[in-house]
Amino acid sequence: MVQDPVCLMKFSPREAKATTEYQGNLYYFCSSPCRDTFIATPDLYLHKVTSMRLTIGVMGSAGNEATDMVMEKSRNLGKNIATRGFILITGACPGLPYECASGARQTGGISIGISPALSLDEHIHKYRSPADVYDAIIYTGSGLMGREVTNIRSSDMVIILGGRSGTLGEFAIAYDEGKLIGVLQGSGGITAQIPDIVASFQKDSGARIVYSEDPVELINKMAKLYTEHHYQRPSCFCDAMPAL
């Protein structure tokens, strides 16, 4: 159960009539008037209920082929995720996800790495992956392909950043499972091909896709879409919600 911070009504998340995001936390409401009251003076209600931070998973190339401009863009994405108060999730790999996690770390954000390894030793020595920018690493022991499912299902929203075949696999999982997906344009890799890839699917999974070249704009668009619509069906495993 969740609780409306204004009227203190308790209900299932799927029964919420509205939500909003504040400092990275998601709040549920029994009605739009309660949400509007909260938005007007949030500090009056924050202490009345508990809330969960939204997670943004960033999926991208683990290679070192990215330009300095794209690496800087990746760090800025991490910084902005942290500034908004969201929790960053990556595959705990080198490359663009590492740059993103570094940006989040520099800004004081929370960063979680989902490792393909069984242990820190295997993470470092077998998978040649970093461990210095994460608040926690989850060791799945699932290998590179297996941990992709954990990456996606642990993320409320997913951002595609550059990427090659592995990132395409993560995108396909996110799309098939109805996630809200952001594409950071201008970051190279598969990002330029995603519109054509989606058109070729000829399948409506419930996924929603947002595009932008600017990390701040992309995150703002995704947060707005999630709290206004996508919270009702955050994955294909949720029952369809009735229209409000």
Model confidence pLDDT, tens digit, residues 150-194: 999 999 999 999 999 999 999 999 999 999 999 999 999 999 999
Residue 31: both structure tokens together: 């009605």
Strands 55-60 and 208-212: unpaired
Using alpha carbons only, give the angle 68, 56, 34 rounded to the nearest 5 degrees. 135
Band of the pLDDT at 244, cuts 50, 70, 90? very low
CB 49 within 8 A of CB 29: no
The whole-number pLDDT of residue 65 equals 84
Counting Cβ atoms within 10 Å, is residue 87 exposed (0-12), middle (13-18) or buried (19+)? buried
Give residue limits of the domains in the chain.
2-52, 55-231
We find that the CATH architecture of domain 55-231 is: 3-Layer(aba) Sandwich (3.40)
* Alpha carbons 102 and 2: distance in angstroms, whole number: 33
**Which among 70, 128, 65 is positioned nearest to 100, based on CA atoms?**
70
User: Percent of the chain having pLDDT more than 70?
Assistant: 98
